[in-house]
Amino acid sequence: MLRFPVTILPDCTMKYCFNSVDKRFHMEQFVEEYVISEQVRKLWAVELDLLEKFKDLCKKHSLRYYAIAGTLLGAVRHKGFIPWDDDIDVAMPWEDCKRMMQIAPKELSYPYFFQCYLTEKDAELHPIRLRRSDTTGCTKWEYENVTDRNYNLGVFIDIFPLFYVPQDSALKAKQKELVIDTWKAFRGYTALMGKEKGLASMNPEYAKYIEIYREYSKKYTIQQIKELYYKYCAIQQEPTEEVAVTSYRVNDPINTWKTEWFNETVELPFENTTITVPKGYIQWLDWRYGDWKVPVFNSAGHEMYMFDTDVPYKEKLSISAHD
Asked if 135 and 193 sit in the same domain, the reply is no
> H or E stretch including 101?
helix 94-107
pLDDT of residue 22: 43
Asked if pLDDT for residue 172 goes beyond 90, the answer is: yes
Question: What would the DSSP string read from start to end of 276-297?
Answer: EEETTHHHHHHHHHSSTTS--T
Asked if 175 and 139 sit in the same domain, the reply is no
Asked if pLDDT for residue 194 goes beyond 90, the answer is: no
Structural domains of the chain, count:
2
Q: Each residue of 95-130: pLDDT tens digit?
A: 999 999 999 999 999 999 999 999 998 888 889 999
Q: Which of 193, 219, 235 is the last residue of a domain?
A: 235
Asked if pLDDT for residue 8 goes beyond 50, the answer is: no
In this structure, is residue 244 part of a structural domain?
no
**pLDDT class of 84 with cuts at 50, 70, 90:** confident
Asked if pLDDT for residue 299 goes beyond 70, the answer is: no
Non-local (6+) Cβ contacts of 242 within 8 A are 164, 165, 167, 256, 257, 258, 259
In this structure, is residue 254 part of a structural domain?
no
Q: What is the mean pLDDT of residues 76-84?
A: 93
Asked if 58 and 155 sit in the same domain, the reply is yes
Non-local (6+) Cβ contacts of 247 within 8 A are 125, 126, 179, 183, 233, 255
Asked if 69 and 85 sit in the same domain, the reply is yes
Asked if 98 and 61 sit in the same domain, the reply is yes
Q: Which residues pair with 275 in a beta bridge?
A: 268
- pTM score, whole prediction: 0.87
Q: What is the mean pLDDT of residues 44-51?
A: 97
Asked if pLDDT for residue 281 goes beyond 70, the answer is: yes
CATH of the domain at 115: 3.30.460
Asked if 20 and 122 sit in the same domain, the reply is yes
Asked if 145 and 267 sit in the same domain, the reply is yes
Q: What is the mean pLDDT of residues 126-141?
A: 93
**pLDDT class of 1 with cuts at 50, 70, 90:** very low
In this structure, is residue 245 part of a structural domain?
no
Segments forming the whole domain that contains residue 183: 169-235
Asked if 92 and 51 sit in the same domain, the reply is yes
Asked if 309 and 191 sit in the same domain, the reply is no
pLDDT averaged over every residue in the chain: 86
In this structure, is residue 61 part of a structural domain?
yes
In this structure, is residue 2 part of a structural domain?
no
> H or E stretch including 266?
strand 265-270
Q: Measured on CA atoms in the order 43, 46, 52, 54, is the torsion positive or negative?
A: negative
In this structure, is residue 246 part of a structural domain?
no
Asked if pLDDT for residue 155 goes beyond 50, the answer is: yes
Q: What is the mean pLDDT of residues 202-224?
A: 92
Q: What is the mean pLDDT of residues 161-174?
A: 95
Q: Which residue has the higher pLDDT, 23 or 140?
A: 140
Asked if 123 and 107 sit in the same domain, the reply is yes
In this structure, is residue 201 part of a structural domain?
yes
Asked if 15 and 146 sit in the same domain, the reply is yes
In this structure, is residue 112 part of a structural domain?
yes
Q: Which of 235, 269, 285 is the last residue of a domain?
A: 235
Alpha-carbon gap, residue 312 to 226, rounded angstroms: 28
pLDDT of residue 152: 95
Asked if 126 and 190 sit in the same domain, the reply is no
Tell me the HSE value of 113 on the side-chain side, using a 13 A CA sphere: 24
**Backbone phi and psi for residue 35, each to the nearest 5 degrees, phi listed first:** -100, 120
